[in-house]
Amino acid sequence: MAAVSQKHVQLALALPTKLRSFLARYPPVAILPAGVDPETSKTGYQQDTPNPFLPMKHPVTGKWHDPKYSLRRQADLVKLARTHGVEELLPFTPKKTEERLRKRVELGLRVKGTGVDQKVKGHKHERTLVAKMEKRREAMLEMPNLIREWKKVGKRNWTKFPK
């Protein structure tokens, strides 16, 4: 048991200082020892702001306070955590990889029509292209029969050919 906890300590010491100090201030429930109540073991930082990445409404005044970590600092922490394999220990942030992927799927490439259930209006020639090509394909399939008919009718009477 002591060897396992010693191994975790060595892994924690291998993290960069910035990431290590963040995890010390805001320890996730996943790394708390077994049998410890997460509510009673909150640090002073966690009691002030449960999630330092999100804005918080002051309980008395009702005013919104900015997050403790700016979006740029959040992105730096997430990148550090991702390179060291501990990204899932961070609290929710819009900078997390799975959140960015979810947003990319939902919104698309920020080009109109690339998101889920979105359509591009496009120019008229772009909107009618599929129907036009289908009509052209059907005409090409009917072309051998049409040529046979033209050969029967002859060159002089082709204007009288029924349409």
Mention every residue, 6+ apart, whose C-beta is less than 8 A from residue 145: none
pLDDT, tens digit, for every residue of 46-93? 988 999 999 999 999 999 999 999 999 999 999 999 999 999 999 999
* 163 has pLDDT over 70: no
pLDDT, tens digit, for every residue of 89-130? 999 999 999 999 999 888 877 777 777 777 777 888 888 899
| pLDDT reported for residue 126 | 84
pTM of the model: 0.63
Please report, for the chain, the start and end positions of each structural domain, with discontinuous segments joined by +: 7-95
Burial status of residue 101 (CB atoms within 10 A of its CB: 0-12, 13-18, 19 or more)? exposed
The half-sphere exposure of 40 on its side-chain side, counting CA atoms within 13 A, is 4
In the chain, what is the straight-line distance between the N-terminal and C-terminal CA atoms, in Å? Answer: 90
